């Protein structure tokens, strides 16, 4: 097939868990194992248990992934942490070997698993551009040709001869991204590099990325930022626990990803093993969506009020605690963020919350949300001090538009809101 | 990575990534493609090495020079160590030059895979570039220290109060060969240590100990002629012995050409480098996962 850029066939990668926990072996362990191994061979029972143990200490970060990417296609890759996204990109950018299967890449690959790889704090901006460019595989003449463009993009002209250790973190990132953005491979493999920096910088990076996409280059793009995925890609694959679970047009894949794994009951209960130890003294218990008649539901009507309750316990008093929600659509659009102590009076009254059992509750007014599916995320934190708990995809519910304004026209309405506005029509 | 095969079909590069097992080819073509990266890594090493030091690059001279002074006082004057008829300062400094290159390679290349961990886990390039650049960047220090040696030779030649005269013989033309031998030895040991260090951090503790031990078995403070005749070839199994003797012969015109000794040293050096290359290549595919 002449128009194929990447072909991935049954690709798998196994990691030893021990490696990530202990990071490295000592010589003594290897010597001891070397002495023990031959002895062990005499006992079949031992050998069996050793084999089981070895299997248990390994995990498949990727298992039997098969897909292909056409030339000029921009393919998104999404999945939860640990789903295997980074492993996939590492294999495709030749950082690590697959354990099974193979991948075929047609053309020159450039990979951006990180910006600023190999940056040295003692070197100046100018020197780091040359070094980083070479590390990313650019030819010296190529770097020199693009040098001015890179500097202009980074907006650090007046500090270009200053060691980067004196840069602010924003300047550092801008310079690092600027070099990376001027890579011109036929196939670009990009990890979460846009998730850094301030909003202005992110906008700029995103703009550059969509330029790249429009130039007809093949891009494999991993991100947690659903709006970036939606904006840049047309098709997306979803990874879950090392397996490819879906390949679909991006909107459908994002919807699937955001809504997969939730029982559609209208209630989310956190079990002990889902709560990280750092959350203490905050312990989330449940999150519920209630309709106008106070029943727990997974489908609410747009024309009725919707109540959301977060139930939690505090094992010790917490000062300045705010418990709140994010609401976003399964298309990845942010609707709003709200906290229980947003109100100044409540903020004063609950300046310190004593240990105990709580419910924080709010009600959305009728005629507020448009039809569609919504994801509720939960956040419990003390501003600028500590984030106790976060679950960005705690619960999902559906809004039914029956009776909402404009239903006489059978068309989907764009937007998160579906307000009933007091229109007036005057004939003049 | 390892079993990567690049084929050209209708002017398009096709890269096949598949699991690699056992011993793999050296893939030196890939290393050649990345020669600019090796150059930049050497350049970075040199640029960064003496940043924020008060004395800067003069450290490259101070280290061997002060060692030479100490050796001269302790071994030359007090212990009356023989030095093959060469003034002791010149004798020891000539040995310290390739020795400095070697020890720097031992410690820098040995740790290079760890210090460059962030690059190894994020970008592809032939991993060999890292220890290679570490070894080669030692040449800059070597060149600086060499200038001092030239000064010393001139001093001994034109000082009428000294009866010793350095006789420059055609042997000096062989000096580059001995330098290459020093580099091969350094690279061989550096490759072994760097690859082992990824898996066994014990290497970090072994390096200083190894350096000290190796100094004792290398003829720097004493002449190789002190070693009994029948043990000479065994002694030459240390490739640095051949290198140091070769340097003295080429530069100072020490009487005996180090024939069989250099041959043995060169053979061992080449074995070290070739096995080092293959071991490094074999371990390479796990570097990103284990480092």
CB contact under 8 A, A95 and B201: no
CB A217 within 8 A of CB A69: no
Q: How far apart are the first and last CA of chain B?
A: 16
DSSP classification of residue A410: -
Query: What does the pLDDT look like over B102-130, one tens digit per residue?
Result: 999 999 999 999 999 888 988 889 999 99
| Token pair 């959301």 in the structure block, residue | A308
Largest CA distance in chain B: 75
Please report the pLDDT score of residue A53 as a whole number.
52
Q: Smallest CA–CA separation between B289 and chain A, in Å? A: 7
Does the beta carbon of B123 lie under 8 angstroms from any beta carbon of chain A? yes
Tokens of residue A91, six digits: 């294999």
Does the beta carbon of B205 lie under 8 angstroms from any beta carbon of chain A? no
Give the separation between CA B194 and CA A374, rounded to whole angstroms: 52
Phi-psi group of A183: left, alpha or beta (phi > 0 → left; psi -120 to 50 → alpha; rest → beta): beta
Partners of residue B47 in chain A, C-beta under 8 Å: 122-123, 127
CB contact under 8 A, A106 and B13: yes
Partners of residue B1 in chain A, C-beta under 8 Å: 94-97
Give the separation between CA B1 and CA A97, rounded to whole angstroms: 6
CB contact under 8 A, B16 and A102: yes
Segment-wise mean pLDDT, segments of 10 residues, chain B, 291 residues:
46 76 73 90 88 80 92 89 85 93 92 90 90 94 92 82 72 89 95 92 90 92 85 88 90 72 91 94 84 75
Query: What does the pLDDT look like over A38-51, one tens digit per residue?
Result: 555 444 444 444 44
Q: Smallest CA–CA separation between B200 and chain A, in Å? A: 5
> Residue B214's closest CA among B204, B223, B206, B225?
B206
Please report the pLDDT score of residue A326 as a whole number.
92
Partners of residue A91 in chain B, C-beta under 8 Å: 17
Q: Which of A25, A106, A134 sits opposite B12 (nearest CB)?
A: A106
Please report the pLDDT score of residue A17 as a whole number.
67
What are phi and psi for residue A397, nearest 5 degrees? -145, 165
Please report the pLDDT score of residue A20 as a whole number.
41
Q: What is the dihedral of CA A78, A79, A84, A89, to 10 degrees?
A: 10
> Residue B96's closest CA among B244, B216, B242, B222?
B244
Q: What is the ipTM score, two decimals?
A: 0.81
Query: What does the pLDDT look like over A362-375, one tens digit per residue?
Result: 999 999 999 888 99
| DSSP three-state, residue A245 | strand
CB contact under 8 A, B17 and A106: no
Please report the pLDDT score of residue A197 as a whole number.
60
> Residue A139's closest CA among B30, B34, B42?
B34
Query: Is the bond preceding residue A281 a cis peptide, omega within 30 degrees?
Result: yes
Query: What does the pLDDT look like over B218-233, one tens digit per residue?
Result: 999 888 888 888 888 8
CB contact under 8 A, B124 and A94: yes
Does the beta carbon of B9 lie under 8 angstroms from any beta carbon of chain A? no
Q: Smallest CA–CA separation between A404 and chain B, in Å? A: 51
Q: Using a CB cutoff of 8 Å and minimum separation of 24, what contacts does A200-204 make?
A: A201/A170, A201/A173, A201/A174, A201/A177
Q: How far is CA A319 from the centre of its chain?
A: 30
Tokens of residue A89, six digits: 């990109």
Chains A and B: how many Cβ contacts under 8 Å? Answer: 123
Q: Using a CB cutoff of 8 Å and minimum separation of 24, what contacts does B51-56 make?
A: B51/A122, B52/A122
Please report the pLDDT score of residue A195 as a whole number.
57
Please report the pLDDT score of residue A48 as a whole number.
47
Say whether pTM exceeds 0.90. no
Query: What does the pLDDT look like over A297-310, one tens digit per residue?
Result: 888 989 899 999 99
Please report the pLDDT score of residue A39 as a whole number.
53
Q: Smallest CA–CA separation between B256 and chain A, in Å? A: 43
Query: What does the pLDDT look like over A1-31, one tens digit per residue?
Result: 558 899 999 999 988 765 444 445 566 666 6
In tens digits, chain A (428 residues) has pLDDT values of 558 899 999 999 988 765 444 445 566 666 666 666 555 544 444 444 444 555 567 788 899 999 999 988 999 999 876 788 889 999 998 888 899 998 999 988 888 887 788 889 889 999 999 999 998 888 889 999 999 999 998 888 899 999 999 998 788 888 988 888 888 888 888 887 665 566 677 777 778 777 877 888 888 988 877 777 888 888 999 998 899 999 999 988 988 887 765 545 788 888 887 888 888 899 999 999 999 888 898 889 898 999 999 999 999 999 999 999 999 888 778 899 999 999 999 999 999 999 999 999 999 999 999 988 899 999 999 988 888 998 888 888 989 888 889 888 878 888 899 999 999 999 98
Q: Smallest CA–CA separation between A21 and chain B, in Å? A: 11
Partners of residue B121 in chain A, C-beta under 8 Å: 90, 95
| DSSP three-state, residue B140 | helix
């Amino acid at each position: 097939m002449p128009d194929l850029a990447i072909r991935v066939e049954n690709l798998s990668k196994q990691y030893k868990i021990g490696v990530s926990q202990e990071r490295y072996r000592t010589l003594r362990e290897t010597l001891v194992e070397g002495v023990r191994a031959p002895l062990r061979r005499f006992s079949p029972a031992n050998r069996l248990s050793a084999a089981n143990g070895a299997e248990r200490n390994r995990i498949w970060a990727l298992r039997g992934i098969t897909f292909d990417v056409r030339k000029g296609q921009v393919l998104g890759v999404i999945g939860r942490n640990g789903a295997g996204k980074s492993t996939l990109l590492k294999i495709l950018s030749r950082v690590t070997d697959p354990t099974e299967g193979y991948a075929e890449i047609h053309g020159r690959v450039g990979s951006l698993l990180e910006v600023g790889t190999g940056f040295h704090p003692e070197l100046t901006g100018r020197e780091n551009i040359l070094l980083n460019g070479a590390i990313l595989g650019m030819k010296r003449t190529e770097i020199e040709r693009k040098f001015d463009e890179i500097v202009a993009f980074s907006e650090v002209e007046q500090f270009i001869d200053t060691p980067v250790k004196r840069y602010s973190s924003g300047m550092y990132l801008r310079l690092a991204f600027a070099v990376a953005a001027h890579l011109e491979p036929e196939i670009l493999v990009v990890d979460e590099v846009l998730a850094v920096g301030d909003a202005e910088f992110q906008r700029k990076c995103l703009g550059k990325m969509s330029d790249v996409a429009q130039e007809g280059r093949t891009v494999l793009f991993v991100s947690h930022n659903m709006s970036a995925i939606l904006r840049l890609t047309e098709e997306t694959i979803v990874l879950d626990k090392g397996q490819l679970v879906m390949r679909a047009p991006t909107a459908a894949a994002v919807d699937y990803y955001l809504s997969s794994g939730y029982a559609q009951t209208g209630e989310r209960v956190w079990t002990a093993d889902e709560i990280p130890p750092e959350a203490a003294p905050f312990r989330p218990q449940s999150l519920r969506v209630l309709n106008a008649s106070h029943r727990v539901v997974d489908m609410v009507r747009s024309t009725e009020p919707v109540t959301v309750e977060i139930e939690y316990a505090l094992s010790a008093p917490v000062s300045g605690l705010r418990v709140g929600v994010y609401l976003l659509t399964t298309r990845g659009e942010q609707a709003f963020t709200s906290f229980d102590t947003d109100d100044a009076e409540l903020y004063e009254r609950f300046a310190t919350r004593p240990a105990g059992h709580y419910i924080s509750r709010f009600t959305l007014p009728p005629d507020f949300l448009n039809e569609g599916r919504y994801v509720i995320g939960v956040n419990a934190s003390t501003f600028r001090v500590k984030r106790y708990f976060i679950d960005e995809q705690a619960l999902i519910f559906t809004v039914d538009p029956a009776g909402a304004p404009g239903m006489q026209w059978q068309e989907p309405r764009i937007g998160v809101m579906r307000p009933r506005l007091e229109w007036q029509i005057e004939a003049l | 990575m390892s079993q990567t095969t690049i084929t050209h079909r209708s002017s398009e590069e096709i890269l096949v990534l598949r699991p690699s097992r056992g011993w793999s080819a050296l893939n030196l073509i890939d290393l050649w493609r990345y020669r600019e990266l090796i150059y930049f890594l050497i350049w970075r090493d040199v640029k960064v090495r003496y940043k924020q030091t008060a004395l800067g690059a003069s450290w490259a001279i101070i280290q061997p020079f002060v060692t030479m002074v100490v050796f001269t006082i302790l071994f030359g004057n007090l212990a009356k160590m023989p030095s093959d008829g060469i003034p002791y300062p010149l004798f020891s400094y000539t040995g310290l030059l390739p020795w400095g290159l070697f020890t720097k390679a031992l410690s820098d290349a040995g740790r290079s895979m760890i210090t460059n961990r962030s690059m190894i886990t994020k970008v592809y390039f032939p991993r060999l570039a890292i220890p290679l650049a570490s070894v080669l960047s030692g040449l800059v220090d070597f060149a600086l220290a060499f200038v001092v040696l030239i000064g010393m030779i001139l001093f001994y030649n034109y000082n009428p109060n000294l009866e010793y005269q350095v006789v420059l013989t055609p042997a000096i033309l062989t000096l580059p060969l001995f330098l290459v031998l020093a580099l091969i030895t350094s690279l061989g040991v550096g490759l072994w240590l760097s690859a082992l260090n990824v898996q066994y951090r014990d290497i970090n503790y072994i390096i200083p100990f190894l350096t000290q031990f190796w100094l004792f078995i290398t003829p720097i403070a004493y002449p190789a002629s002190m070693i009994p005749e029948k043990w000479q070839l065994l002694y030459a199994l240390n490739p640095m012995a051949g290198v140091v003797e070769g340097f003295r012969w080429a530069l100072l015109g020490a009487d005996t050409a180090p024939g069989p000794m250099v041959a043995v040293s060169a053979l061992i050096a080449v074995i070290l480098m070739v096995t080092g290359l293959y071991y490094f290549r074999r371990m390479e595919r796990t570097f990103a996962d284990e480092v």
